């Protein structure tokens, strides 16, 4: 008989037990469920809602049960539905009648909300730590490559010369925003709902602040109805996870491109690549491709929970059981992706010569050539037209701007002088961009220092 079965005249069908049960996935909440129950029982004994001796027996039994679960000595039961009922059933079997008093002043609705909030808080901290490690890796690469020149792109066409450090610090900015998002998601989860009951609180004189303190929450929920109905904190995590996976996917896309024979900007480590079953020359960037592919999976987890929640009246509905699989899957996917991506990035070999050669080709210095004329007194629109004509000529003759002699440059505009060759050298193009946020090494060095200060806050 189910613990809630007093009103029913027959057992649930076997098919219903299997369909209804969530123990296959929510068993990972065992620690949170037991820790929450220990705090609840402690409070019940301290307030005199149940006898202190019974509360102590419950706490002792729960701690013993936790040890047994962690030692692999417990088999969870499908017909006990979920981790919450499993723990209570196992506790009653272990300590007898006292175990039946654990649920005094509590509903599964606020119990579920408590457990998933505790797990979400940990997941946010765990994910944040992994993102911080990735950010530190980006800072390390940036310090090493302050002067490694490469082409910057728009529309996947060579645009202007930059440095590898500048490029890496762009990703640092993305992931630093992810750090902020997971910190916010943690704050959203850091509200203690136990005491909300099924939806309207309870008539027992619960000491909610005591439970809050025992469990380390910063706040109490202020409305019992919302306390059991809210899953916004999970949506915050899933949203942050989706954005973070998008950033990982963009990064992977570039690494995949850079690893091609056409770019030759990097060499992937053998430990993070695979081969072909038929083509012996192949070295495929499968890790990066798989992270890129798994991004859509996390997007799907976010959409699944948004869709499950969108039409639910207050308060708890069984639909909300669907929150956990989506959340757990997104957390697992993101954690694995961050771990493997960071280790992969540490082993990437950046080919400086190929990058610098790439920056020298494709007229990445054309904007600087136009700016040179502007500084000589030519209107920008006129300068833009002159350099556009120069580029067209170079394409026809298969030459770069720096290949042209001064006499030929003067054919296009008399303002060109000998100093143009220094002005449009790729090193000059990079070093001259000394605006805050620009690619000049001293500006990127300042950006790295700002990044280090930011990470120290987490």
CA distance 49 to 103: 11
CA distance 116 to 112: 6
Beta strand pairing call for 266-267 and 219-220: unpaired
CA distance 78 to 24: 8
- What string of DSSP letters covers 153-213? EETTEEEEEEEHHHHHHHHHHHHHHHHHHHHHHHHHH-EE-TT-TTTT--SS---HHHHHH
Q: Please give the backbone phi and psi of residue 158, each rounded to the nearest 5 degrees, phi first.
A: -60, 135
Q: 222 in helix, strand or coil? A: coil
CA distance 2 to 378: 86
CA distance 387 to 400: 12
Catalytic residues: 155, 276
CA distance 272 to 266: 13
Count the neighbouring beta carbons within 10 Å of the beta carbon of residue 434.
12
CA distance 406 to 205: 90
CA distance 142 to 129: 20
* Alpha-carbon torsion angle 55, 59, 60, 62, nearest 10: 130
Count the residues in the chain: 458
Instruction: With beta carbons less than 8 A apart as the criterion, state whether 133 and 127 touch.
Output: no
HSE-CB for 72 with a 13 A CA cutoff: 0
- What string of DSSP letters covers 345-373? HHHPEE-HHHHHHHHHSSSTTHHHHHHHH
- Two structure tokens written together for 7: 């009103």
Q: Please give the backbone phi and psi of residue 222, each rounded to the nearest 5 degrees, phi first.
A: -100, -5
Q: Please give the backbone phi and psi of residue 199, each rounded to the nearest 5 degrees, phi first.
A: -170, -15
């Amino acid at each position: 008989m189910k613990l809630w079965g007093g009103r029913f005249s027959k057992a649930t069908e076997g098919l219903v037990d299997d369909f209804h049960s969530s123990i296959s996935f929510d068993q990972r909440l065992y620690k949170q469920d037991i820790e929450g129950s220990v705090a609840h029982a402690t409070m019940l004994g301290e307030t005199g809602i149940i006898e202190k001796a019974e509360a102590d027996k419950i706490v002792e039994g729960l701690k013993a049960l936790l040890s047994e679960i962690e030692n692999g000595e417990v088999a969870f039961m499908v017909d006990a539905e979920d981790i919450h009922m499993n723990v209570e059933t196992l506790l009653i079997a272990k300590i007898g009648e006292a175990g039946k008093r654990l649920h005094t002043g509590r509903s599964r609705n606020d119990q579920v909300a408590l457990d998933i909030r505790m797990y979400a808080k940990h997941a946010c901290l765990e994910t944040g730590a992994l993102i911080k490690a990735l950010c530190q890796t980006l800072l390390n690469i940036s310090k090493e490559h302050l002067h490694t020149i490469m082409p910057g792109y728009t529309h996947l066409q060579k645009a202007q010369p930059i440095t590898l450090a500048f490029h890496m610090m762009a990703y640092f900015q993305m992931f630093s925003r992810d750090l902020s998002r997971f910190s916010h998601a943690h704050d959203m989860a850091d509200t203690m709902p136990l005491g909300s009951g099924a939806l309207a609180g309870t008539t027992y004189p619960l000491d909610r602040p005591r439970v809050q303190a025992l469990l380390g929450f910063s706040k109490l929920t202020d409305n019992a109805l919302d306390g059991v109905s809210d899953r916004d904190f999970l949506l915050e995590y899933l949203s942050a996870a989706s954005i973070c996976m998008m950033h990982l996917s963009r990064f992977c896309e570039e690494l995949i491109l850079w690893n091609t024979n056409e770019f030759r900007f990097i060499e992937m480590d053998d430990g993070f690549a695979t081969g072909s079953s038929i083509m012996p020359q192949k070295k495929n960037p499968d890790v990066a491709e798989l992270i890129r592919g798994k991004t859509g999976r996390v997007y799907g987890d976010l959409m699944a929970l948004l869709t499950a929640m969108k039409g639910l009246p207050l308060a708890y509905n069984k639909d909300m059981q669907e929150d956990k699989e989506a959340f757990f899957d997104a957390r697992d996917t993101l954690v694995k992706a961050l771990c493997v991506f960071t280790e992969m990035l540490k082993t990437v070999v950046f080919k400086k010569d190929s990058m610098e050669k790439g920056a020298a080709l494709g007229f990445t210095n054309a904007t600087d050539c136009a700016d040179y004329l502007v500084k000589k007194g030519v209107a920008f629109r006129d300068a833009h037209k002159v350099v556009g004509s120069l580029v067209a000529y170079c394409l026809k003759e298969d030459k770069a701007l720096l290949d042209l002699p001064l006499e030929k440059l003067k054919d296009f505009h008399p303002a060109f002088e000998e100093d143009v060759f220094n002005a449009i050298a790729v090193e000059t193009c990079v070093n001259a961009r000394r605006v805050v946020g620009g690619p000049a090494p001293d500006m990127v060095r300042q950006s790295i220092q700002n990044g280090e200060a930011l990470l120290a806050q987490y």
